[in-house]
Structure 1
Amino acid sequence: MKYHTRPQVLVLSGLDPSGGAGIQADIQAITSLGCHPLPVLTCLTVQDTRNVYGAEAVNPELIRQQLKYVSKDAPIHAVKTGALGNSAVVEVLVEFLARHPDIPVITDPVIKAAGGGDLADDELLGTMKERLFPLAEMITPNGIELALLGESDIPDEAARKLLEKGCASVLATGGHGTGIRITNTLYNGSPTPMTWDIERIGGEYHGTGCTLAAAIAAGRAQGLSPRAAISQAQNYVHHTILHALKVGKGQPVPDRGILWER
């Protein structure tokens, strides 16, 4: 029998028991876009569609061994990271990425749940900024995360500070903003940032940031340019929100399992 192959995306993210965000969101988005996910669980969370109530990181040594054997066995065409648990997990990831510098890395710097629950402490944030961000091709903070990471409430200023500290590019996502349009802005050192606009569908949704970053990683694994990958991902996320699922009593969940044709 002759087998077929797909581009493969290594995913490091946390488990959301509601299935709305985290590693399940990543797996669904990557699969929907025609790639095969290689999932490595970084933390377990106590979470529903309303908030995060607790989290516990996976043993970093276990993650080190998973990365070692998966990468020996399977080609990796892109990497997507989400919630990383603690600083020690980031260090393990950094060691791995240093040995694979040619793989595009899309980092969603997950800090807080939409309900306000914390998913990163100061030590984890510092390690991500100093060690992980310089190895990533793109980070995808929402407005709250951008202000915190870039130490400024002015998006252009916050992004500039992150670029100066080693980020190759910053995609500032606009889903948490207001207005009739969502604007995602790519800062990469060019004189003028590039923007993508799409109609805002009312309300907040659980897992859109995870979905967007995972979809970008899938596009990069398929060989799309960063800009083309962003365009495809944004259209995909918009489609999943148009068909959002009501899972629990909190935010609706993007339906990443619905048929989507590029």
Structure 2
Amino acid sequence: MLSGLDPSGGAGIQADIQACTSLGCHPLPVLTCLTVQDTVNVYEADAIDADLIHRQLNCLAGDTPIHAVKTGALGNAAIVDVLLELLQDYPEIPLIVDPVIKAAGGGDLADGELISVMKSRLFPRAEMITPNGDELAILGDNADPERAARNLLDAGCSSVLATGGHGTGLHITNTLYNHAPEPMHWNVERVGGVYHGTGCTLAAAITAGRACGLSPRAAVSQAQNYVHRAVLHALEVGKGQPVPDRGIPWER
């Protein structure tokens, strides 16, 4: 799991670790960036040295079987290059990309170079990308979610899970677009407003499902149910968005 450190504990690498552990996996966490962040917003982000990450990944790959890879905030384009170099030797490993480019509070977590490299090189290698509504519009160059997803598919993505947690309405709808004739929809009751780290948690839970051998669709279903349960027990950590309780017991 490659992601940034959120000192509030709401998102980023801590969300990944908690979700994967809850769903029966042993995470291998690799930090990509350090942030100045709370439950309200991201104020600063500094990428970790890409050569250090290169050494960490090679060390882990030589020691431990890797069954799936998840990315969150990636820091800079050089870190994408390092990850893709490693994955060349493991074409069978599912890669789930949470394309984190902005915090919910509006703070930037990716510059133009990183976004360009993600779109041109990382997305085509990914089994699934999981953008929220704002990320989908930016990455897919269209305000219409379906058109934006189709643009990403045309550009080389295998599948796009458009997440609906940042929307409105009585239900959250997550929609999986791939090269099938029709997209697949998952609906779950919306609880309250916006929560800190739900996107990270969903993508990490999907990755855990894939690592445990679930199909992509089954992994999405399990992950959505897990996130919904974590949101029902959300924690009031700070002055901003509540944090899903990813430590609740999960019955598999």
Q: TM-score, normalised by structure 2?
A: 0.99
2:113 aligns with 123
> Quick one: distance in 2 between partners of 1:203 and 1:143?
15
- Out of 139, 163, 168, the residue aligned to residue 178 of structure 1 is 168
2:4 aligns with 14
Provide structure 1 residue ranges, at least 5 long, that are not aligned to the other structure: 1-10
Count residues in correspondence.
Answer: 252
SS of aligned partner of 1:36: coil
2:78 aligns with 88
> Quick one: distance in 1 between partners of 2:149 and 2:249?
35
> Quick one: distance in 2 between partners of 1:102 and 1:86?
25
> Quick one: distance in 1 between partners of 2:141 and 2:212?
34
* Amino acid corresponding to residue 101 of structure 1 in structure 2: P
2:132 aligns with 142
- Out of 192, 195, 201, the residue aligned to residue 191 of structure 2 is 201
1:220 aligns with 210
1:256 aligns with 246
1:29 aligns with 19
> Quick one: distance in 2 between partners of 1:243 and 1:193?
30
> Quick one: distance in 2 between partners of 1:166 and 1:148?
16
> Quick one: distance in 2 between partners of 1:40 and 1:100?
18
SS of aligned partner of 1:123: helix
> Quick one: distance in 1 between partners of 2:89 and 2:115?
23
1:97 aligns with 87
SS of aligned partner of 2:33: strand
* Amino acid corresponding to residue 211 of structure 1 in structure 2: T
> Quick one: distance in 2 between partners of 1:97 and 1:129?
17
- Out of 113, 122, 131, the residue aligned to residue 132 of structure 1 is 122
2:237 aligned with 1:247: yes
> Quick one: distance in 2 between partners of 1:36 and 1:260?
15
Consecutive aligned runs of 4 or more in structure 1 exceeding 2 Å deviation: none
What's the % identity of the aligned pairs? 75
> Quick one: distance in 2 between partners of 1:12 and 1:68?
13
2:97 aligns with 107
> Quick one: distance in 1 between partners of 2:112 and 2:87?
22
> Quick one: distance in 1 between partners of 2:119 and 2:89?
19
2:181 aligned with 1:191: yes
For each residue in 1:1-36, what CA deviation from the matched residue of structure 2 results, as whole angstroms up to 9, or x when unmatched?
xxxxxxxxxx00000000000000000000000000
* Aligned Cα root-mean-square deviation (Å): 0.5
Q: TM-score, normalised by structure 1?
A: 0.96
- Out of 39, 43, 68, the residue aligned to residue 49 of structure 1 is 39
Q: CA deviation at 1:128?
A: 0.4
2:54 aligned with 1:64: yes
Q: CA deviation at 1:234?
A: 0.1
SS of aligned partner of 1:151: coil
SS of aligned partner of 2:10: coil
For each residue in 1:34-85, what CA deviation from the matched residue of structure 2 results, as whole angstroms up to 9, or x when unmatched?
0000010000000000000000000000000000010000000000000000
